[in-house]
Amino acid sequence: MTIPYTPATAATAAWAPTATQYKVGEASNLTVGIRNTSNGGAQSLVLAVPADPAAPGDLFDTVDLSGLGAVTFPAGADRIQVDADTDHWVTGVPLATAALPDGVVAADVAGLRITFTSTSGATGITAKGAAGSVVLQLAQRTQTRSAHTPLVTGGAATATVLGTVSLGNHGAASSSATASYTIGGLTATVSGSTAFAGPRIPAGTTTTVTLTGVNTSNGPLSTFTLTQPVGGTLLGPKVTFAGFASGAAWPTGATSATLSWSVSGGAVPDDVVLHQGDALPGSPALDAGQTVTGFTVVYRGAIAPSATASLPVRIQVAKDIAASSAAPATVVETGWVDGHNDAGDAARAVPTASLGVLYPQVKVALTKTITPSAAKPIPAGGRSIAQLKATTDSDSGFVHPTTVIIQDLATGAAGDYWGAFDIVAVAPTQVPAGAALTVATTTDRTTWDVVASVPASAGAAYYQAALPGASNLQGVRLTFTNVDGFAQASTLQANLAFVARATVRDSGRARPAPGRT
């Protein structure tokens, strides 16, 4: 009994990944395979990729071949021959490894024919043996090969594979397989914002303005740029660059950045190369008369979608920017945010913010409380405490005072508190951290004598002491100083101890008895 030969084969195709976003040169692998499923040994196994190079939509219209990867020989085979179609077929030679024919450039390939054979003979490829395969390394194109249609908005490719087994004189058979690959469209968009640390400041002080950019693309950016433009409305004769502040945000995916300076003239300072984790530099070394007029930070890498970059900038506002309290000034910040990827340049975002600058003023409120109150008369020798509370204004438009003077002085007028009381001591009075205190007294309401000093310290301190010559004193002055300035809404309180006199000062008249008016 003679069993007839039955040629049969099984072709396979698998693309990995099956979908990616558009990026020129983005790599993917198409693994094509073939198996001799015949009941006899095969002379050859052939894979045609694509099955018909002339058919529309074949894979090499959308991707380029970049190389040949791993090879698995079918059972019994030990040689692989690769023929390539460029504008004509170029025949390769059987080798132990996969290689394009001499002179063929991978990116020019529009079709492949891959042949497995065996050096053991014409029937050396094992019947119903294990499958063989070869990995085709691919890279995204910018546009389709045939129609030059840009792929940035997306595209798709289908790899059609035709596998053929030959049993020599006993016939041949074929099978096909397909694999698909999708390219997602890419966008290039950015957004930006900018904000001052507060809405108003007094002239002659500093503040911070922060420029922020966000990658709003649906894919990564290769460059992401934040710019303080030259000739913009921020930096100029009345507003100067005072360095970067803390709190900068490095965008996710950026591997490096370059900071470039613009100056008012002369030699431009060198660029500064930064990496993630690096602190922003201080102001550059400038020649006499030079000022910073702008800067640009270009982040590079694969800046992720939704990644944020921010640059906090300190600015110094000139004292004379506001002409008077009735004529405040306005400073406007305008920044630029740019981005680029394979989709092209993003439309520039141009965020703006405004800062009110007031004429420099100090505002301090003072309240005075005396205990016991007037409803409880004090006999001669009885004690009274005067609390004088000074509070700086909470409005950011006022200058932080470096000196606050709390003074209590006799007026000599009828009914004056000092006419009925002598000051005898400074009762426990807090000296805030970082502040110093000087205590002075006067006997003539004109000249002052310093009687005590408390130096500034890292923590709060308390001062109390008797004041000599109480019966002759006509005033006391407590001077609080802080070289860094007292913050808005700071409260400083002087506590003063008095003793009721037996006679009204300078009159010789006896004080009214308790309970009398």
The pLDDT tens digits for 480-505 are 999 988 887 889 999 999 999 888 88
CA–CA distance, 193 with 190 (Å, rounded to integer): 11
What is the CATH class of 190-358? mainly beta
DSSP E strands: which ranges in 131-205? 132-140, 154-166, 172-184, 190-196, 200-202
Q: Is the Cβ–Cβ distance between 165 and 173 less than 8 Å?
A: yes
pLDDT of residue 322 exceeding 70, the answer is: yes
Residue 265's DSSP bridge partners are none
Going by C-alpha positions, the residue among 35, 14, 95, 99 that lies closest to residue 65 is 99
Q: Where are the domains of the chain?
A: 9-184, 190-358, 364-500
pLDDT of residue 512 exceeding 90, the answer is: no
pLDDT of residue 234 exceeding 50, the answer is: yes
pTM (2 d.p.): 0.70
Phi, psi at 471, each rounded to 5°: -65, -20
Average pLDDT over the chain reads: 91
Q: Is the Cβ–Cβ distance between 144 and 152 less than 8 Å?
A: no
224: tokens are 């992401």
Q: How many residues does the chain have?
A: 517
CA–CA distance, 264 with 237 (Å, rounded to integer): 10
pLDDT digit string, tens, across residues 369-406: 888 876 567 888 889 899 999 888 756 556 678 899 99
Q: Which CATH superfamily is domain 9-184 in?
A: ntegrin, alpha v. Chain A, domain 4 (2.60.40.1530)
pLDDT digit string, tens, across residues 184-231: 999 999 999 999 999 999 999 999 999 999 999 999 999 999 999 987
CA angle at 94 for the pair 89 and 99, rounded to the nearest 5° = 65
Pairing type for strands 172-184 and 19-21 reads parallel
Across the range 42-59, mean pLDDT stands at 90
CA–CA distance, 317 with 207 (Å, rounded to integer): 8
Q: Is the Cβ–Cβ distance between 472 and 442 less than 8 Å?
A: no
pLDDT of residue 516 exceeding 60, the answer is: no
Report the pLDDT value the prediction gives residue 410, as an integer from 0 to 100.
Answer: 92
* Matching fold, domains 9-184 and 364-500: no
CA angle at 198 for the pair 197 and 201, rounded to the nearest 5° = 115
Least confident of 47-56, 211-220, 319-328, 379-388: 319-328
CA–CA distance, 122 with 223 (Å, rounded to integer): 58
Report the pLDDT value the prediction gives residue 396, as an integer from 0 to 100.
Answer: 53
Going by C-alpha positions, the residue among 68, 66, 32, 69 that lies closest to residue 47 is 32
Across the range 10-39, mean pLDDT stands at 96
User: Residue 471 in 3-state DSSP?
Assistant: helix
What CATH number should be reported for the domain whose range is 364-500? 2.60.120
Q: Is the Cβ–Cβ distance between 165 and 7 less than 8 Å?
A: yes
pLDDT of residue 261 exceeding 50, the answer is: yes
pLDDT of residue 1 exceeding 70, the answer is: no
